[in-house]
Amino acid sequence: MFGLGCAGVRPSHYRDWSPDQAVLPYCEFLGDRVHVHNIRNCTYLTDKSYVVHYYDKTFDLNQLESVDFIVVPFRSLPSLAHTMLSFGFRDGERLAASVEVRRQRGEEYSLASALLGRYELMYVLGDERDLIKLRTNYRKDDVYLYRSRATPEQARALFVDVMNRVNQLAVRPESYDLLRNNCTTNIMRHVNHLAPNKVPYGWQVLLPGHSDRLAYDLGLLDTDLPFEEAKRRARINDLAEHYANDPDFSAKIRR
């Protein structure tokens, strides 16, 4: 789908990667079950000091019942944001998917480098205790978690589409592109694969700090409350910090 970045850097799987991004996930489809390899669950001491853990798990697609949309605005530029999905299963298990710049060891994220296509792109499949707590408890970013209006059938189709993309990237690397191939544009394409042209590529995708309002206006999120009230309730930082070590972390942050 995407080859050379704007700066002509050919994407590769073979670099000295940052330890938390050194292993790519992939999965195997086994009928109604999906066996996912390399689910990340880091133990953090600080946002830059951690012990990396991975595990494999088989998920039953018949148990998939929901998907949540997560928005993490940049503190210095809140119109920009990182976005993620989290899939919920009937037994309480969750699997989060985060489309990220794949950094080399010691490399820092730069907006200029992202704009010029100097990074590779990867999907991190992770435990919420990793992907959410990293941002709420260690980076101290605001995190907003919204329940989507997807039916179990729609959540299942979205999950399968994401897993197919994960397998695609495990075979063929791609360049990250801040405008065309990033966290939010990939989520947009997943949704549009299932409902063509549902999400238009416009300023709220280009500035994903506003993507939650776009999803709300498109009816993809629960619209029972006015948006500003829904956003206030969606902020989970206090709950994530309070229940940081609770074995029911994912359930408690949705209290």
Which tokens is 174 given?
A: 């791609």
Neighbours of 109 (CB within 10 A): 10
pLDDT of the residue at 116: 87
CB of 47 closer than 8 Å to CB of 156: no
- Tens of pLDDT, residue by residue over 136-171, are 999 999 999 999 999 999 999 999 999 999 999 999
Q: How far apart, in whole angstroms, are the C-alpha atoms of residue 255 and residue 170?
A: 36
Q: How far apart, in whole angstroms, are the C-alpha atoms of residue 253 and residue 251?
A: 6
Q: How far apart, in whole angstroms, are the C-alpha atoms of residue 211 and residue 227?
A: 12
Residue 233 one-letter amino acid: R
What is the residue-wise DSSP string for 158-177?
Answer: HHHHHHHHHHHHHHS--B-B
Length of the chain equals 255
pLDDT of the residue at 6: 47
CB of 120 closer than 8 Å to CB of 175: yes
- High-pLDDT (> 90) share of the chain, %: 91
- Tens of pLDDT, residue by residue over 212-254, are 999 999 999 988 999 999 999 999 999 999 999 999 999 999 9
Nearest CA among 154, 4, 144, 150 for reference residue 81:
144
Q: What is the mean pLDDT of residues 166-188?
A: 97
- Tens of pLDDT, residue by residue over 17-55, are 999 999 999 999 999 999 999 999 999 999 999 999 999
Q: What is the mean pLDDT of residues 82-97?
A: 97
Residues β-bridged to residue 66: 88
pTM of the model: 0.95
